[in-house]
Structure formats: structure tokens, C-alpha cells
Amino acid sequence: MDKVLETFWRIFEQPDEYLSDRSIWMLSSFLTGYSTRMSMENVESALDHLYGDFRVWLNDHFSIQNSSQSVYHIIDSYSTGSENSFETFYMLFGKFYKEPSIHPRVTDLGPAYAQKRDLFELIRLFRQKPDLYLGYPHFSGAYSYLSGFQRAGRDLTLPASSEEVFYEEFKTWIERVKFPVGKPRPWFKLIQFYSFHDCGTSKSSAYAVFFELLDEFAEAKTRKDLFSIITH
């Protein structure tokens, strides 16, 4: 069974179980993290192959000539808002998927492989090269990617790593220690609330605040510089 593709459809049926917002950008980041973890564990999926064919199908559907934009960018440009783009994405993918020429066999795709990385290494890479790993520096993309990465581990019934335990402790610290005022809110909502905007590297962005708080928590745990960028 193709677990990545199975999860792809489950997100449509139960988006609130997987995503913090019904947005194709949250979907994109979550699935990237999810697929990366699956590939690291040598779990094959047809989804990447399907996305390539889906982009060609979308170019034809919207009469776009040779667009190299991602399927998310194409659909977003024809949508009226975040939730509409999410619904439109799945509606169009459903039409595409029903065509008889689709459905590649996973066994035809070759072995899955992604370089092994732990959670801390990913966080440091997000900080050092956000354009490469996140598309651009944005907090919502970072936590959605890490959420997908962790969810894949749970779906594979892998034991939580020491890094994942530390990250969960960080989330609890945000909710109960750092920002305990008011009725309870999820940790990422609190970071967003105490920031002025989601994107960018300025000190007022949620992206920058996220790393600042990680550094503060790591230092409190006597692990200073745990998430610092490593230069060679």
C-alpha cells in the first residue's frame, strides 16, 4: 500500500487532523516533510511521479503553455482564497486521478531514498537555507514540514527519537511556561500571536521568533547553540 498517497487522500477527508489551516501551502509543506521521512525509511510512493503528470494535465486544463510552476502555484493562481485553493486542488486532482492512463505502480518507480537527517539537523537546515528547504523563510511552512515529518514516523510506528521528545518538550514549554496567559492555545498559535507576520528574517517575524525561542529553550536545557548554524 502507498502510505504517502493514502495519507494524501486522508488529508482531504480529515484536514483538521493533519493541517493547522486548510491551505494548499500547508498541504505542500506537510506532505514534503511526510514524504521525506517515508523516503528516509525506504518507503516508496507514486505521489511525486503523479505530481509531474498532474502539472502537465493542469497546463492543458488551464491552457497554460509549458509552465514550470508547481501544481500548488498553478492552482493558487486560479483560486479565490486559501480554503478555496485547497478544495480546488483536490477537486482537480480527483479529476486527473480518475483518468484511465493514470495510476503508476509503485513497484515501477525504483527504490525510495532520502538522506538520513534527524529533526535537529532539519531545523538547522531550515535556519541556514530556508530557500532550499522551505521555498522561503516562513514559520507556517517550517512547523508544517516538521509536523509531516513527525506524523510519518508515527504512521510507521517508529519510536520517538530523543530529538522528537525534546521538540515536544519545547512545544509544552511555549504553552505552559513562556506564554501561559489567557485560555490555552496551540504552541504555534502562540508564536504567531506574539509576532507581527509569518515570513522573513526580521526579528518581528514568526519565523525568527521560532528560532529565538528554540535557542532560549535549548539554553535553559543547558544545550546552548544546539540550533545554531554550523559554518565550515
pLDDT digits (tens, 9 = 90+) for 120-167: 999 999 999 999 999 999 999 999 999 999 999 999 999 999 999 999
If one counts the domains in the chain, the total is: 2
Looking at the structure, do residues 80 and 118 belong to the same domain, yes or no? no
Q: Could you tell me if 42 and 88 lie in one domain?
A: no
How far, in Å, CA of 195 to CA of 169, rounded? 21
Three cell numbers written together for 118: 534527524
| Residue 68 resides in a domain | yes
Angstrom distance (rounded) from CA 124 to CA 163: 13
Residue 226 lies in a domain: no
Do both 98 and 142 map to the same domain?
Answer: no
pLDDT digits (tens, 9 = 90+) for 56-68: 999 999 998 877 7
Is residue 74 within 8 Å of 64, Cβ to Cβ? yes
Considering the domain architecture, whether residues 141 and 195 belong to the same structural domain is answered as yes
State whether 136 and 99 are in the same domain: no
Q: Please indicate, yes or no, whether residues 179 and 204 belong to a single structural domain of this protein.
A: yes
> Do 177 and 125 sit in the same domain of this protein?
yes
Both 35 and 70 in one domain: the answer is: no
Task: Please check whether residue 91 is in contact with residue 83, taking contact to mean a CB–CB distance below 8 angstroms.
Answer: no
**Are the CB atoms for 206 and 192 separated by under 8 Å?**
yes
What's 19's DSSP letter? -
pLDDT in tens, 5-32: 999 999 999 999 999 999 999 999 999 9
Band (pLDDT 50/70/90 cuts) for residue 110 is very low
The answer to whether residue 19 is domain-embedded is: yes
Full domain range(s) for residue 100: 59-104
| Same domain assignment for residues 72 and 176 | no
In a domain, 229, yes or no: no
- Same-domain check for residues 125 and 81: no
Q: Are residues 141 and 178 located together in one domain of the fold? A: yes
- What pLDDT is recorded for position 186? 96
Residues 119 and 212 in one domain: yes
